[in-house]
Amino acid sequence: MKKALILNISYNDIQLMENLKKLGYYVYATGMYDSLPGQAYADTYIKEDYSNKDAVLKIAEKLNIDAVCSCCNDNGVITASYIADKLNLKGHDAYKNSLLIQHKDKFSKFLDDAEIQKSYSKTFIDENSAIESIKKSETVYPLIIKPVDLCGGAGVAKANNYESAVSSIKTAFKLSKCGQIVIERFIEGKQYGLCTFLVNQKVAVYCSNNEFSFINPYRVEIDIFPSDCEKSIITDLLRKIEKIASILKLSDGIFHIQYIVNNGKPYIIEAMRRVIGNMYNILSSKLNNFDWLYFETKTHCGINCSSEIIEKTKNIKPSNKYYAYRSIVGNRNGTFKQLVIPSNIKKYIFNKMDFYTKNQEITHYKTEQLALLFFEFSSREEAEKIMLKDYDKIYVKYNQIT
């Protein structure tokens, strides 16, 4: 039997594991904890930090794997490409290109060098140098400060003045695994996501969405599909994605960007070569009737399915419905009592995933995900009313402090 190694098994990775089994693989899995959601789906689970690429490479060599499958994490993408390079496995970008795309500083420089987008960022490997740089008279606030190697908004902060910038720089250095941060000009505007599936370095299918954050401005809380972004902007971004794919000779698979539109101009702020979090695929698949994770799994295994994808996407008819998800977080720390959802809103929910436990103690409310809700609407107006205008009608109720 063929053997595949998947590098993490969060709830976002479970469908990848199911697909691996459908394809006939014995599934080995790694992860950092003892009770990950996908453990029951693995044939064998090995506790190991998937960001430790050399340790995971030793496991892959010992198991003599036939395929390595990335996960819903940037560090997993990097480790998978590292293993694929070392073991000559197909289905992944070159290791140097994974580093380039997943590390914010390298990707920003690449976009500038390729004349795709002007860079407004500077990279620092030393805390003192970063602080000295913002003392200069030409520094214009607000700034955005990020570790170069984290995802999910970890360590990202907006600084409106010198004091908050210094604090944000110190936090970003503390969290960065590689000890590097970027300081960028903050760009105001509407935020979007654009997910594409590349085949032979061309976009075979895409879906777009608006992104909203209420509790934590750097962790997406609500997506509405499809986006209200102008078609001309999306067309321009698709061309840029194909130019990136061509220059870097990217492998088939998901290429996702986040971008901000300011005065009619898009600015790419992130790029990902992986499964997108918050079970993004549930809604992207409904939107265009394309099984994103099935084909992502096949490409990770080095299976050439380009003709199958091209045939599948030839006559795609996008849904005339509107979809959205909401990642439920609390608005403060405390003891969780219940999630309140009014009955007039429940009728729009077609799927719900609960992650909370009874009387759970919430200690980091901005990042502790308690549930995911998936919605279907008949119109954008309906979607925006329920998701945005009625945002406060869905809320976490806490046990009273005694």
Decide which of 250 and 357 is more confident: 250
**Can you give the pLDDT at residue 137?**
59
- Assess whether pLDDT exceeds 50 at residue 402: no
Domain ranges of the chain: 2-89, 121-185, 190-398
Mean pLDDT of the residues in the chain: 94
Confidence tier at 98 by pLDDT (50, 70, 90): very high
Decide which of 91 and 119 is more confident: 91
**Can you give the pLDDT at residue 401?**
67
**Can you give the pLDDT at residue 17?**
96
> Can you state the angle between helices 292-300 and 14-22, rounded to 10 degrees?
60
Contact 220, 327 (CB under 8 A): yes
The rounded percent of the chain whose pLDDT value lies above 70 is: 99
**Can you give the pLDDT at residue 396?**
96
Q: Which helix (H) or strand (E) holds 122?
A: strand 121-124
pLDDT digits (tens, 9 = 90+) for 284-312: 999 999 999 999 999 999 999 999 999 99
Confidence tier at 230 by pLDDT (50, 70, 90): very high
Fold entry, domain 190-398:
D-amino Acid Aminotransferase; Chain A, domain 1 (3.30.470)
H-state helical runs in 103-180: 104-113, 127-133, 162-175
Fold entry, domain 2-89:
Rossmann fold (3.40.50)
What is the CATH number assigned to the segment(s) 121-185? Answer: 3.30.1490.20
**Can you give the pLDDT at residue 229?**
97
**Phi, psi at residue 24, to the nearest 5°?**
90, 20
Confidence tier at 69 by pLDDT (50, 70, 90): very high
In degrees, to the nearest 5, what angle opens at C-alpha 45 toward C-alphas 40 and 47?
125
pTM of the model: 0.91
Q: Do domains 2-89 and 121-185 have the same CATH topology?
A: no
Positions of E strands within 342-389: 349-354, 361-362, 371-377
Residue with tokens 């209420």: 214
- Assess whether pLDDT exceeds 50 at residue 267: yes
> Can you state the angle between helices 95-102 and 104-113, rounded to 10 degrees?
100
> Can you state the angle between helices 74-87 and 53-63, rounded to 10 degrees?
50
Confidence tier at 153 by pLDDT (50, 70, 90): confident
Contact 83, 71 (CB under 8 A): no
**Can you give the pLDDT at residue 67?**
98
**Can you give the pLDDT at residue 202?**
98
Q: Tell me the C-alpha distance between 373 and 201, whole Å.
A: 34
